Amino acid sequence: MARVPSCPATMNPAPEKEIREHELTMHVFTVSAGMVGVCLTAIGLLRLIASQTKVQTVGDDLLAIDALVFVSCACLAFWSFKTRHIALRRRLRVVVDTLFLCGLVAMAGICSIIAYAIL
């Protein structure tokens, strides 16, 4: 049985970078799915609060849109796992990272709106 010689990581950094990018995208994929659940839970809680205290906000609509942003992140991340085209994979990962950060920033803003409306 022939042994494949091991090459030091410094000789070819491209596979290491690809592995790191894949792992990061995997984390974004799983966290995005979790954030959809957070958005849906918050929408349910807002509906409960609104029915008891007559608080009228756009928070639930904004959370629904934010949930769609996180679903988009998860779908695009999954697509990046499946594609064999390196250039497309890199573009998808940039889009996923950008959408994910926008979704997080939007969620922070939405939480501020909800907190202000409830107080």
Within a 10 A sphere around the Cβ of 71, how many other Cβ atoms? Answer: 16
Q: How many whole angstroms separate alpha carbon 105 and alpha carbon 95?
A: 15
CB-based contact 22:80 (threshold 8 Å) = no
What is the value of pTM for the model shown? 0.74
pLDDT of the chain along its 119 residues, tens only?
Answer: 445 445 454 556 678 888 888 888 888 888 888 899 888 888 887 777 776 554 556 778 888 899 999 999 999 999 998 989 989 999 999 999 999 999 999 999 988 877 777 66
Token pair listed for 16: 């290491």
Q: How many whole angstroms separate alpha carbon 112 and alpha carbon 20?
A: 34
Identity at 25, one-letter amino acid code:
T
